[in-house]
Structure 1
């Protein structure tokens, strides 16, 4: 199959690099490829009728290119929105019917996701790094890693802690952070680290300033200590150095830049080789912008030092959906050279932050690789909004306005009580409880189909009502929300 790629002057080199020898490239007399029009394309190809089987025009191009297709006797499709992706689209030109209305990158979104994930694996395996934490690369060209804190981990029973560690890793945590409570003893810390290390497949850190608790965690083989400052470096610094453990260094009270630099030097003087700097991200309303400036300054002055970014300091202290907040924080973290994204999932509104930061980190890695903004990557953090709206319908003339029934009668076969059992990783079980049997399932369709098949409904209005409620329950599970029968979602 003979394929031609039409582009503009600015994108020429990117297109040629992406295409290689797999297609011809036509550079039109426009700077921006999106300004290519059917007329310009026809003018440039008037002598090329029958030469090509497929012509790909930029995904952002507008105009009716069907005329080009008819006159040149070939298929014309919208390519991807970004020149970098043309090479991937060419792999599917023979297999997928592309479109003149939808850019190829959107049409191939599912395939795009697979390609994006494959690219991330290759990127991570070949990336350089500033430091290693076990088998985990930190900084350099590797993607940012997510550290998930189990708040007051020392207060968990053994089985509960094991389940929480496993849950956080399943959600996408690259490092497990064990938060020590204010009343924790050295024995509590030893037990907690021991349990976590038995089940964890990722590095484990201890989160405390108490020197005795830090030493107890070191005794159990913890991989990282969080945190060191002037209050404990003199006491525990030599122990950390002898253990060869990585340490996060923070400033003293006030979070000054000079204090952070001083504490890093003190940690080095103690012989600690592997250090991560935490300039401390302050919450919005409490110095957030100043702290970002501090991060920028530190990264500029110490580009070879891995940086810790406490995203949870912001998400926990703002009443906004964590998805968009975490996406933005990932962008900020990437630009200031961060290697670790820290979060607890302490409050109900921040549930899902581990997975959100994991996806956000991958998006930033792909964007850096492509030298693009973090959009049209194959991965996204869009949950309630969408990139492309499906067309609305036209209301036919003479349509009837719907009216709600004034009342209802109990189904002779009995009522249902609907509820959900959510799990910690998204999703869960819909529970439809009848006087004779309880039906459970993960989707509304399988639950309502089972109810119908069992003959547990005898009235159409009851069937309609149940369909609405069970679908509400499914949506609640998908969004990680609570559900109560007959309440608005």
Structure 2
């Protein structure tokens, strides 16, 4: 019967030297573009193919009983590929026809990747070197429930240590109680305060790291027996950091060094130079970087910044960062850095570019767009014989088509008026809502340069939310497929 190769496809075990013959099963609307892909792909991979077009419009709606009834397999076929969204037990088809059946990718445009002609096997991104401290900012202003909820969210996002951020100039009497609560909930905890009472209470209840230590608190912090973060008295005063390091070494206090990352406009580039200098002068010491001064104080999406900062840290062997999620545009900064630290670790370890490895941080736009093209869209429009609307987003236009016509343009409102005027019956409220929702997604995709596929969620990287398609929703409700493609 053959076996599954590295690409996931089934390889025939024969020694005849003949190319395997694969039957690709599809619906009427995908036939044109599928044949175009196979015409180029087959000689590259080294297989022969035939295409079976069953009497359905959309290939995704194929299921095992229908295929068993309608499919005729030509002689000499080694195995059969079905659309990736085909429902049912394929063993039934294998037993019935006597040859293997296998699901392909959900989108036939992904067939080159499936057959190993574009892309490579998934990379192992489980490894990383950089520890994430996630700060609960202004913790004294939050309830215990809010603190626990934030700590859990940060841990789920990839944080290794929860930093309890106190309020400068105030002394919080519940510091120790809250730290103990977090420790008992299974969190590793650091304390971010210069107040002696807060720090001592935190340490006595399980805090393992103190942020931060300079000449203002060096005498008493160095006697608490836990690790501290050494910082300069002033960000630009690197010599003061060297003196603090000397004192910490003399007292056998464990420490990591943070030369302080400055915001853009306040010495950002110079502060980067201090990290390079710290690594030169302290080649064997742990270094930390507080990345919030860039992500929180720069009015731009943070994923790209987190990737660059992770790369700097990886190359300089900076083994910990302090991340924050205070301002709205940085609300997923911890998860972004978690993805970033894995990506740069893989890239540097394998001496490869951080490209075509994974796409979880490509959030605003998509890595690539798959276009049917003008000819294929017109071909689809000419074939449609039912009233269900198909929606596409290509060539800076929305394309809507059904048996009554083919409309394209940039204004969803105008398109709706046009195809409603041509409709053989009035679009009901449920269907109108569905069409409006899909056209909104399609226009968003056009605006941002994203791939749009009807009834599928837009790809937002690691923030992508799965959707229940209109067809699946109506099936769950026990209703017919009155919305979307059929």
State the TM-score, normalizing by the size of structure 2. 0.58
For residues 354 and 268 of structure 1, do their structure 2 counterparts lie closer, same or farther at Cα, with a shift above 3 Å needed?
same
1:66 match: 43
1:276 match: 256
- Aligned partner (choices 346, 360, 363) of residue 340 of structure 2: 360
1:325-370: CA deviation from partner (whole Å, max 9, x where unpaired): 1111111221222111211100011010000000101111111221
- Aligned partner (choices 122, 130, 143) of residue 157 of structure 1: 143
1:113-145: CA deviation from partner (whole Å, max 9, x where unpaired): xx524xx2xx5xxxxxxxxxxxxxxxxxx5111
2:378 match: 396
**Is the Cα contact below 8 Å between 1:147 and 1:341 reproduced in 2?**
yes
**Is the Cα contact below 8 Å between 1:174 and 1:203 reproduced in 2?**
yes
Structure 2's unaligned 5+ residue stretches are 3-15, 21-39, 48-101, 380-404, 418-425, 442-456, 466-486
- Aligned partner (choices 352, 363, 367) of residue 387 of structure 1: 367
**Is the Cα contact below 8 Å between 1:363 and 1:379 reproduced in 2?**
no
Distance (whole Å) between structure 2 residues aligned to residue 67 and residue 162 of structure 1: 55
Distance (whole Å) between structure 2 residues aligned to residue 156 and residue 401 of structure 1: 52
Whether 1:116 aligns to 2:124 is yes
Whether 1:465 aligns to 2:442 is no
Whether 1:172 aligns to 2:158 is yes
1:259 match: 240
How far apart are 1:160 and its partner, in Å?
1.7
**What pairs up with 1:214-233 in 2 under 5 angstroms?**
214-233=199-218
Distance (whole Å) between structure 1 residues aligned to residue 117 and residue 300 of structure 2: 28
Distance (whole Å) between structure 2 residues aligned to residue 368 and residue 164 of structure 1: 32
For residues 222 and 464 of structure 1, do their structure 2 counterparts lie closer, same or farther at Cα, with a shift above 3 Å needed?
same
**Is the Cα contact below 8 Å between 2:407 and 2:415 reproduced in 1?**
no
How far apart are 1:251 and its partner, in Å?
0.7
Distance (whole Å) between structure 1 residues aligned to residue 205 and residue 342 of structure 2: 32
**What pairs up with 1:10-25 in 2 under 5 angstroms?**
none
2:5 match: none
- Aligned partner (choices 145, 162, 171) of residue 185 of structure 1: 171
**Is the Cα contact below 8 Å between 1:116 and 1:377 reproduced in 2?**
no
Distance (whole Å) between structure 1 residues aligned to residue 103 and residue 129 of structure 2: 32
1:204 match: 189
**What pairs up with 1:29-40 in 2 under 5 angstroms?**
none
For residues 229 and 105 of structure 1, do their structure 2 counterparts lie closer, same or farther at Cα, with a shift above 3 Å needed?
farther
More off after superposition, 276-285 vs 383-392: 383-392
Distance (whole Å) between structure 2 residues aligned to residue 407 and residue 104 of structure 1: 40
| Structure 1 counterpart SS, 2:259 | coil
How far apart are 1:107 and its partner, in Å?
6.0
For residues 373 and 300 of structure 1, do their structure 2 counterparts lie closer, same or farther at Cα, with a shift above 3 Å needed?
farther
2:445 match: none
Structure 1's unaligned 5+ residue stretches are 2-48, 54-62, 71-94, 124-141, 409-457, 482-489
Distance (whole Å) between structure 1 residues aligned to residue 183 and residue 135 of structure 2: 14
**Is the Cα contact below 8 Å between 1:363 and 1:380 reproduced in 2?**
no
1:361-392: CA deviation from partner (whole Å, max 9, x where unpaired): 11111112212122232464111222232124
1:29-70: CA deviation from partner (whole Å, max 9, x where unpaired): xxxxxxxxxxxxxxxxxxxx95999xxxxxxxxx99938959
Distance (whole Å) between structure 2 residues aligned to residue 292 and residue 236 of structure 1: 27
State the TM-score, normalizing by the size of structure 1. 0.58
Whether 1:235 aligns to 2:220 is yes
Instruction: Provide the alpha-carbon RMSD of the alignment.
Output: 4.2
Distance (whole Å) between structure 2 residues aligned to residue 285 and residue 97 of structure 1: 52
**What pairs up with 1:325-474 in 2 under 5 angstroms?**
325-378=305-358, 380-394=360-374, 396=378, 399-401=406-408, 404=413, 459-460=427-428, 463-469=431-437
- Aligned partner (choices 126, 134, 142) of residue 148 of structure 1: 134
Distance (whole Å) between structure 2 residues aligned to residue 205 and residue 151 of structure 1: 12
For residues 105 and 376 of structure 1, do their structure 2 counterparts lie closer, same or farther at Cα, with a shift above 3 Å needed?
farther
How far apart are 1:254 and its partner, in Å?
3.5
**Is the Cα contact below 8 Å between 2:136 and 2:163 reproduced in 1?**
yes
**Is the Cα contact below 8 Å between 2:238 and 2:274 reproduced in 1?**
yes
Distance (whole Å) between structure 1 residues aligned to residue 415 and residue 345 of structure 2: 56
Distance (whole Å) between structure 1 residues aligned to residue 297 and residue 217 of structure 2: 28
2:228 match: 247
Aligned residues: 330
How far apart are 1:266 and its partner, in Å?
1.5
Distance (whole Å) between structure 2 residues aligned to residue 480 and residue 52 of structure 1: 40
How far apart are 1:312 and its partner, in Å?
1.1
More off after superposition, 155-164 vs 306-315: 155-164
**Is the Cα contact below 8 Å between 1:310 and 1:342 reproduced in 2?**
yes
